[in-house]
Amino acid sequence: MLIGDLSRASGVAPRLLRYYEEQGLLVPGRDGKGYRTYGADASARVARIRELLSAGMSTEDSRGLLPCMSDPTRWVLPCDESLDIVEQRFAELGSKIAELTRQRGLLEVQRDAIRDWLDRE
């Protein structure tokens, strides 16, 4: 299938598909005219890429995890590399959550102080 066909099948814009190719996530073939061609499994691969990105994985992480995603019934197959990548992102997410919780607490104090001030007027 051509890039327009893959775009329609996957719901992903051709520009984004070309970006995935630049990042090494999609590897199209080329026809006699130089047009990108994709196999029948390309739509499923794009769906997997989208899943990984929506889970907070970078394109670099995704490139490392895609070889461990050969079973369509599982998100990521267990392998040492996949565990390392997922654990690293999990730890980073925990740190981000802790920082956001700290920021929320600071904002909550300020919000409550402003409300108290306004209620006195």
pLDDT by residue for the chain (121 residues), tens digit each?
Answer: 999 999 999 999 999 999 999 999 999 999 999 999 999 989 999 998 999 999 889 999 998 888 777 666 666 667 777 888 889 999 999 999 999 999 999 999 999 999 999 999 7
Q: CB neighbours of 77 closer than 8 A, spacing ≥ 6?
A: 68, 69, 70, 71
| Residues 33, 15, 49, 47, CA torsion sign | negative
Q: Are 52 and 23 in contact (CB under 8 A)?
A: no
Coil, strand or helix at 96:
helix
CATH, range 3-120: 1.10.1660.10
The predicted structure's pLDDT at residue 74: 64
Coil, strand or helix at 37:
strand
Q: Are 57 and 85 in contact (CB under 8 A)?
A: yes
Domain range annotation of the chain: 3-120
What is the rounded CA–CA span in Å between residue 85 and residue 80? 9
The predicted structure's pLDDT at residue 90: 93
- Which string of b and e fits 98-112 if b means at least 16 CB within 10 Å? eeeeeeeeeeeeeee
The predicted structure's pLDDT at residue 27: 92
What is the rounded CA–CA span in Å between residue 9 and residue 49? 14
The predicted structure's pLDDT at residue 117: 94
The predicted structure's pLDDT at residue 79: 76
